[in-house]
């Protein structure tokens, strides 16, 4: 993993863990570790020219580069409110800061790809890429693969024998692939070349282990192209993924399914590939036509991908959005139902992270790394779509900060103020959680399992409705796009869907008939 990606991953550890459970319909669950665009800053860049001469080992060299990266990233985090900037595909092609490249180049100069011990393979890959020594990455990779081949193929002459495609080789190729994919600027051509070569080297019929790896690489390339709005690339890689899936013998496919996990991993993988192959544009076109067409297309893609019934997906697409119940405050205190009938609605769930102000042992107000991205996403939506009805859903917990147990109304008022402090737009609905207290001497306050609104929006536990879960709902109250976590990376899909819904409404207004 490149150093800058490690830094970014470290900084957004909590977000990352949530991203795992994000099951966005169109594969947006694959989080992209991206950096903010260079922008105006409040502080001068720090001195980032360490004396690398005193670092004698590879680990020290990597650590020195890491420190420079950390300094720059931290500086960027402080100086740039990157989460107020919408997604920009150019971020992936933005060069790394010069001090970081210089440090990596100076520090890695002593490590010649042709002679360096292979024990440093995993550390050197990202270091070479930061130093823009791409040719050395290829050299090092070749040496590493040759070493494996010479060991495992000692008794066989062919380098592409089944024996040579062992776990170690796959792991090495995966490391190189991940390094290319996470490098900045993006090394997609190198990643594609590596994947294609890997694919061609695998004897047919393909067995489960290499198949799973190469399919994962293709799908990752497809999703990366989706992020880059490269429709052709996305379809190309998605098609290869599906072709490989289809080519598997039933027994091997069963193994792959078992390894990925039947109900989540494999099905979602296949479904994401189908979506990528179809293209986002097709989905948006169907949504512009009607919600019914969109829902039917989603169901068809699911059936095509998994061979299962549409209901088995667990996705609440096409379901009627339950009405939210609780204390309503914010911009629309008219007491009307939410989601608002006849309007496009965005419902976002917040459970604890933003408003539970002493959730952590160190008793900080909250963790901005989680709360701020959501509220800033919502601010961007509000600015771009003034007619969009945004509803933030929270629930009472029986306490607020240090206060003695407040009434639900008091707690709702505190929660609303906490969200106001984040400049969260829209209307807040705070549901009243039912509690009971265990008898003495235990006396614990226990929340009832039925959580207001959260339970209804989990659709029989088939969908996560915790922190950051978001639902785009059309004018008829039908759920169009659910996501387990609203992130900056997934915003553009919501934007596309909202624009499609708005376009349909405008068209229907022009035609004088409803769009559904």
Partner 1 sequence: MSRNRDRLVRLDDGERILSRQQVEAIAERVFRLAQGGGETRVRVESWWQGELRWGRNRVSLASDRRDVSLSVIRGQPFGADGAASTNQFDDVSVEAAVRAAERALARQDQPPKAEFLPQLPKLELPQSSIWSDATYNLTAEARGEIARSLVDSAEQKGMLSAGYTEVRAASYAELSSEIRAGKPARFETPYAAWTHAQCSMTVRDPKGTGSGWAGLSSYDWAKIDSSALAERALDKCIRSRNPVSLEPGRYTVILEPQAVADLTEPLIWKLDRIRTEQGDGPFVLAGDDALGLVRTKLGLKVVDERITLSHDYADPALGIVPRVGMGTGPISWIDHGVLTAMFYGRTYALRQLGDNYGVRDPTGYRMSGGTATPDEMIRSTKRGLLVTRFSNVGILDQNSVLCTGLTRDGLWLIENGKITKPVKNFRFTESPLFVLNNIEQLGPPTRVFRPTGPAGQLTPAIVPAIMARDFSFTSLVDAV
Specify the DSSP class assigned to residue 317.
Answer: T
39 binds partner 1 (CB under 8 A): no
Between 156 and 417, CB nearer to partner 1: 417
* Whether 236 contacts 279, CB under 8 Å: no
Residue placing its CB nearer to partner 1 in the complex, 262 or 410: 410
Our finding on whether 409 is near partner 1 (CB under 8 A) is no
CA distances from 510 to 286, 513, 514, 515 (A): 19, 8, 10, 11
The yes or no reply on residue 443 touching partner 1 (CB under 8 A) is: yes
With beta carbons less than 8 A apart as the criterion, state whether 124 and 116 touch.
yes
- Member of 54, 90, 200, 444 binding partner 1 (CB under 8 A): 444
Residues with Cβ within 8 Å of residue 203, at least 6 apart in sequence? 160, 161, 162, 165
Q: Which of 250, 441, 460, 512 binds partner 1 (CB under 8 A)?
A: 441
Binding mask 56-95 for partner 1 (x = CB under 8 A): ------------------x--xx-----------------
- Interface with partner 1 includes 374 (CB under 8 A)? no
Cα angle 210, 211, 216 (rounded to 5 degrees) comes to 100
3-state secondary structure of 426: coil
Q: Given candidates 163, 312, 365, 495, which one binds partner 1 under the rule CB under 8 A?
A: 365
CB contact at 8 A, 306 and 260:
no
Contact between 358 and partner 1 (CB under 8 A)? yes
User: Under the criterion CB under 8 A, does residue 109 sit at the interface with partner 1?
Assistant: no
Q: Can residue 346 be called a binding residue for partner 1 (CB under 8 A)?
A: no
In the list 414, 454, 457, 463, the residue contacting partner 1 (rule: CB under 8 A) is 414
Contact between 364 and partner 1 by CB under 8 A: the answer reads yes
Stretch that binds partner 1, among 167-175, 249-257, 329-337, 434-442 (CB under 8 A): 434-442
Instruction: Pick the binder of partner 1 from 387, 449, 510, 511 (CB under 8 A).
Output: 449
Q: What is the dihedral of CA 35, 40, 44, 45, to 10 degrees?
A: 20
**401 scored as a contact of partner 1 (CB under 8 A):** yes
Backbone angles phi, psi at 19, to 5 degrees: -60, -30
- Both tokens of residue 137? 């990455």
Residues 221-240 binding partner 1 (CB under 8 A) are none
Cα torsion angle, 313, 455, 481, 354, sign: negative
Query: Which of 422, 315, 297, 402 minimizes the C-alpha distance to 357?
Result: 402
Cα separation, 295 vs 313, in Å, equals: 12
**Site for partner 1 contains 120 (CB under 8 A):** no
Q: Give whichever of 455 and 502 is closer to partner 1, judged by the CB atom.
A: 455
Pairing of strands 389-395, 427-431: parallel
Smallest gap from Cβ 355 to partner 1, in A, equals 11
Interface with partner 1 (CB under 8 A), residue total 36
Report the residue from 87, 121, 399, 459 that binds partner 1 according to the rule CB under 8 A.
399
Binding site for partner 1 (CB under 8 A): 43, 74, 77-78, 357-358, 363-366, 368-369, 372, 397-405, 414, 417-418, 421-423, 440-446, 449
């Amino acid at each position: 993993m490149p150093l800058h990606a490690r830094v970014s991953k470290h900084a957004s550890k909590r977000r990352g863990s949530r991203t795992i459970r994000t099951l966005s319909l169109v594969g947006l669950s694959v989080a992209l570790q991206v950096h903010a665009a260079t922008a105006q800053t409040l502080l001068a860049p720090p001195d980032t020219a360490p004396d690398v001469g005193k670092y004698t080992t590879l680990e020290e060299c990597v650590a020195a580069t890491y420190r420079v990266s950390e300094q720059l990233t931290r500086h960027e985090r402080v100086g740039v409110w990157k989460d107020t900037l919408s997604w920009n595909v150019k971020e992936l092609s933005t060069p790394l800061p010069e001090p970081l490249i210089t440090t990596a180049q100076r520090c890695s100069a002593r490590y010649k790809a042709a002679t360096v011990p292979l024990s440093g393979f995993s550390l050197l890959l990202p270091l070479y890429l930061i130093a823009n020594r791409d040719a050395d990455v290829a050299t090092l990779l070749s040496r590493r693969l040759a070493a494996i081949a010479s060991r495992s193929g000692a008794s066989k002459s062919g380098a592409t024998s089944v024996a040579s495609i062992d776990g170690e080789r796959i792991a090495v190729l995966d490391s190189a692939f991940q390094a290319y994919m996470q490098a900045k600027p993006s090394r997609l051509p190198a990643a594609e070349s590596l994947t294609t070569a890997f694919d061609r080297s695998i004897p047919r019929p393909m067995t489960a282990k290499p198949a799973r790896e190469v399919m994962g690489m293709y799908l990752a390339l497809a999703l990366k192209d989706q992020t880059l709005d490269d429709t052709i690339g996305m379809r190309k890689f998605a098609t290869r993924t599906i072709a490989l899936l289809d080519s598997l013998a039933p027994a091997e496919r069963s193994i792959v399914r078992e390894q990925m996990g039947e109900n989540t991993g494999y099905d979602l993988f296949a479904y994401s590939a189908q979506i990528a192959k179809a293209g986002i544009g097709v989905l948006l076109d169907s949504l512009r036509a009607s919600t019914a067409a969109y829902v039917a297309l989603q169901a068809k893609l699911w059936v095509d991908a998994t061979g299962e019934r549409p209901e088995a997906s667990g996705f609440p697409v096409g379901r009627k959005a339950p009405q939210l119940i609780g204390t309503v405050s914010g911009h629309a205190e008219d007491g009307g139902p939410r989601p608002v009938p006849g309007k496009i609605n965005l419902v976002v769930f917040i459970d604890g992270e933003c408003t539970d102000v002493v959730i952590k042992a160190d008793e900080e107000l909250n963790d901005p790394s989680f709360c701020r991205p959501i509220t800033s996403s919502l601010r961007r939506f509000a600015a771009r779509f003034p007619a969009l009805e945004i509803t933030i859903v929270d629930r009472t917990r029986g306490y607020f900060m240090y206060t003695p147990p407040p009434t639900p109304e008091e707690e709702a008022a505190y929660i609303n103020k906490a969200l106001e402090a984040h400049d969260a737009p829209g209307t807040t609905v705070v549901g009243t959680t039912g509690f009971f207290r265990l008898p003495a001497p235990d006396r614990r306050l226990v929340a009832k399992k039925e959580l207001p609104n959260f339970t209804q929006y989990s659709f029989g536990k088939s969908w996560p409705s915790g922190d950051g879960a978001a639902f785009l709902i059309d004018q008829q109250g039908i759920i169009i796009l659910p996501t387990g976590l609203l992130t900056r990376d997934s915003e553009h899909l919501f934007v596309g869907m909202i624009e499609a819904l708005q376009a349909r409404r405008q068209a229907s207004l022009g035609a004088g008939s409803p769009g559904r």
